Amino acid sequence: MTRPRVFVRGVGAVSALGDSWPSTCAALAGGACAIRPITRFDAAGFPCTVAAEIAGPLPGDVDHEDRRRPLALAAAREAWREAALSVAPDRLGIFVGAESGRGSFTTVRGLARAAGGPPFDDDRFAVEARPFAARIDATVISPAAVAAALAAEWGAVGPVETISLACASGAAAIVEAVRAIRLGHCDVALAGGVGADVDPMMIAGFGLLGILSARGVSCPFDARRDGFVVGEGAAMIVLATEPGPSGAAWCEVAGVARTLDAYRLTAPEPDGDGAARAMTAALADAGVATVEHVQAHGTSTPLNDPIEVAAIRRALGAGADRAHVSSVKGALGHWVAGAGALGALCAIEAVAHGRILPTAGLATPDAACTARHVIGGAVEARVDAALVNAFAFGGANACLVMTRARGPW
């Protein structure tokens, strides 16, 4: 039985560089960087005081507590408008990469102060915490809240899934969307990821792990790199079994794969075996042996970057030297749950429009990260196939292969 082909019908994004994918992409192509001093809270004394923060009110934001929902909704609406599809509610699936939500700093601080302790005063807490606690409910905290909001927006009653795998979440959500379409569980899927981690608790936590840039610079694969910078945003795509009017489609998601290192919670396997296996499996699933572009995970950490490059070489063999390699995290920071979905949009841009986006911040490649890097500005080139990498805490790996859409349909 021939499996269904999965076409990209629409894309959307909200980032610190633009309120749509075209505006974000144009800024990225020119080598722009959105990393600036944090304004949402007083970051003095934090391990990193900069981020790729979205300034001003978010589109459609009314609750001011859960930034994930307005970001994801804005990106999804853009993708859906471009797709211009009509689908029965039970044939539409929703697949979202998202982590748990958090209340605003004001709310969390109010809760912390409400007890008046030490010692903890239960009676006082019951009274003074009420106005703050009412603002943190399941719709704010639950990872599933974003997918539920998208399902409600489009009346989707097909499969609805939330993937919470840290930095692999967004790419893994697209993997599961493709699999669901292939299995006949839905005909159309809205898939992607959202990250909203410019947050005191997240920055403090990442700082304790020693993986944030003390210099406040994200420069993947560079000899000067010392860690990543947090960013926020959402990236969504619409997938369908039909290519669109007159056979026009952005591209196909031809190959998908997920693997697990089962090594350490916060470190990849030193030889990159899990990452290489995910890449190899995605390439095999797509039926391609080489790619012209690798949209790398590229976190800008001293440990991860050389391991990823070694894994790319292991997966692509001699073809590794012909593939342009880039990471979007130098410009937009690390979106965590949304990172893999943002990488997917960059790869779609390369395949559909022949524009390979650069790695912002990269000036002097580390000898341990030797690759065909894209530095300064976008490279114009024909890309028949692109590989997307997303690797996460716990050793979760998700890879995608995007290819040019070709007939017959």
List 293, 297, 324, 373, catalytic entry: 297
HSE-up of residue 409 (Cα within 13 Å, Cβ side): 14
Does residue 373 carry a catalytic annotation? Answer: no
Does residue 297 carry a catalytic annotation? Answer: yes
Q: Which residues neighbour 257 within 8 Å (Cβ) at sequence distance 6 or greater?
A: 175, 277, 278, 279, 280, 281, 282, 284, 285, 398, 399
| Positive/negative CA dihedral, 289, 79, 22, 18 | negative
Contact 253, 351 (CB under 8 A): no
CA distances from 140 to 69, 113, 122, 338 (A): 9, 20, 24, 17
Q: Token pair of 154, please? A: 């489009």
The CA distance from 63 to 71, in Å, is 13
Closest CA to 315 of 275, 343, 257: 275
- Collapsed DSSP state (helix, strand, coil) of residue 92: strand
The CA distance from 276 to 317, in Å, is 11
The CA distance from 124 to 305, in Å, is 50
Q: Which residues sit opposite 390 in a β-bridge? A: 398
- Collapsed DSSP state (helix, strand, coil) of residue 289: coil
Contact 79, 10 (CB under 8 A): yes
List 167, 186, 346, 399, catalytic entry: 167
Strand bridging mode 293-295 / 385-391 = parallel
Backbone angles phi, psi at 200, to 5 degrees: -55, -45
Does residue 324 carry a catalytic annotation? Answer: no
Closest CA to 116 of 101, 98, 128: 128
List 334, 346, 369, 373, catalytic entry: 334
Residues marked active site are found at 167, 297, 334
